[in-house]
Amino acid sequence: MTANPVHNRRIANVRPLLTPNELRRALPLSPHLANEVAANREAVRLVLDGADDRLLVVVGPCSIHDPTAGLDYATRLAALAGELADELVVVMRVYFEKPRTTLGWKGLINDPGLDGTYRVNDGLHAARQFLLDVGQIGLPAGCEFLDPITPQYLADVVSWGSIGARTAQSQIHRQLASGLSMPIGIKNAMDGDVQAAVDAVAASAAPHIFPGIDDNGRAAVFTTTGNPDCHVVLRGATNGPNHDAGTVASTQARLEAAGLRASLVIDASHGNSQKDPARQLEVLGEVARRIATGEEGMAGVMIESFIQRGRQDLTFGCAGDLAYGLSITDGCISWDDTVALLQELAGAVGARRRLGVSC
C-alpha cells in the first residue's frame, strides 16, 4: 500500500485508548466516596471564600511513581490531618502528569512501568485506582491537569486541581478549568508573571465552548458555565521567590481590580524555594509567622513532601533499584519535617484566630 504523502507523516504508531466510561465501569466511584469528594470540594471552597478560617494545605510527593509508597504516605497523612482538622484542610498532592522543560519521565499515566514502554491504558487504571485508594483512606486528593483529555478519566475523584506555570497562559487549559467541577489553583508563569495567573482565573470563571472527548470517547463540543472557584497560586520564578507580603498584597489588588476573590495560595516549592526542598521549611516558617500576626489573603499553601527528603534519578527500566519513598522528580521534604511544618501552620491558624482575623 502506498503511504499517504501528506497525512501522519511523523506518526510512528497509533494505539486504541480505553474510554472514560470503560475505566469508570472497571473502577467505579462508590456513592459514599462521591459524597466525600463533594464535601471535600465544598470545604476547600469555603476556605477560599473566607467563610472557613482554616488553612488549605495541599501536601504530598512531587509525583506519584510508586503507588505502594504513595499509599504509605497517604496513611500517615490521613492520621495527621485528623489531628489538625480544626485548623487545617489537608489535601494530598496526587500528581500523575509531569510537564517537562525538555525531556524526562512524564508521569504515572504516561509511563507506569518507569521503563519507556508508555502503557497509557495501564497508567490510567493505576492512577484511578490510586485516587480511589486515597479516598478510602480518608483524604481529599489534588491533581495537576496537564493533558486536556485525562480529566474525563479521573476528575470525579479529585477534590482540588491545579493548572501549572507552563500552562497558565494556555487557552486550552483556561477552557478546561472553566468546566472542571472542583476548585482550581492556577500558578503564576515561570518567569514570575502574576498577571498571567490573574487573567487565567478571570478567563476560567467565564463560559467557554471547545472540542474534547465525551465519556464514550467520541469527539464532542463542550459548553461550560465557568468555574468561580479558581484562584492564584504564587510559586515564585526562575529569578527568585514571590511569597513576600508585598507580592501577596499586590496580587490581591490585581484580583480585586478584576472583580475576583482576593485570596490565594502560596507554593513553598519551585521558584519560592529555588528548587532546594529544605528551603520550603524557611518559606513556610515565614508564612506561618505572618499568618499568626494576622496577615490576610493567604488561604492556603502547597508543599512537596514525601517519606524521605530529597530526590533520586530514574534510570528507565531500573525501577527496582529506586530507594523507597524518595522522589524521582522534584526534591521533597521528609515526613518528619512535614509533621513539624503542619503542626507549625496549625499553630499559626490558632494564633490568628485569637486575634479575631480570618484568612
Write down how long the chain is: 359
User: Terminus-to-terminus CA distance in the chain, angstroms?
Assistant: 66
Domains of the chain with bracketed CATH: 23-354 (3.20.20.70)
Q: If we measure between CA atoms, which residue out of 235, 267, 234, 237 comes closest to residue 249?
A: 234
Maximal CA-CA distance, the chain: 77
Predicted pLDDT of residue 1: 42
The values of phi and psi at residue 300, to 5°, are: -165, 175
- Output the CA torsion 103→277→147→222 (10° steps): -160
Q: Answer for the pair 333, 276: CB distance below 8 angstroms, yes or no.
A: no
Sorted by sequence, the CB contacts under 8 Å of residue 278 that are 6+ apart come out as: 309, 333
Residue 236: left (phi > 0), alpha (psi -120 to 50), or beta? left
Look-up: residue for cell 487565567?
200
Predicted pLDDT of residue 343: 98
Full-model pTM: 0.95
Predicted pLDDT of residue 121: 97
| Local confidence pLDDT in tens for the 359 residues of the chain | 457 889 988 998 999 999 999 999 999 999 999 999 999 999 999 999 999 999 999 999 999 999 999 999 999 999 999 999 999 999 999 999 977 666 688 999 999 999 999 999 999 999 999 999 999 999 999 999 999 999 999 999 999 999 999 999 999 999 999 999 999 999 999 999 999 999 999 999 999 999 999 999 999 999 999 999 999 999 999 889 999 999 999 999 999 999 999 999 999 999 999 989 999 999 999 999 999 999 999 999 999 999 999 999 998 777 778 999 999 999 999 999 999 999 999 999 999 999 986 55
C-alpha neighbours within 13 Å on the C-beta side of residue 354: 7
What letter would DSSP give residue 193?
-
Contacts by residues 110-117 (CB-CB < 8 Å, ≥ 24 positions apart): 113/319, 114/65, 114/314, 114/316, 114/317, 114/319, 114/328, 115/316, 115/317, 115/319, 116/316, 116/317
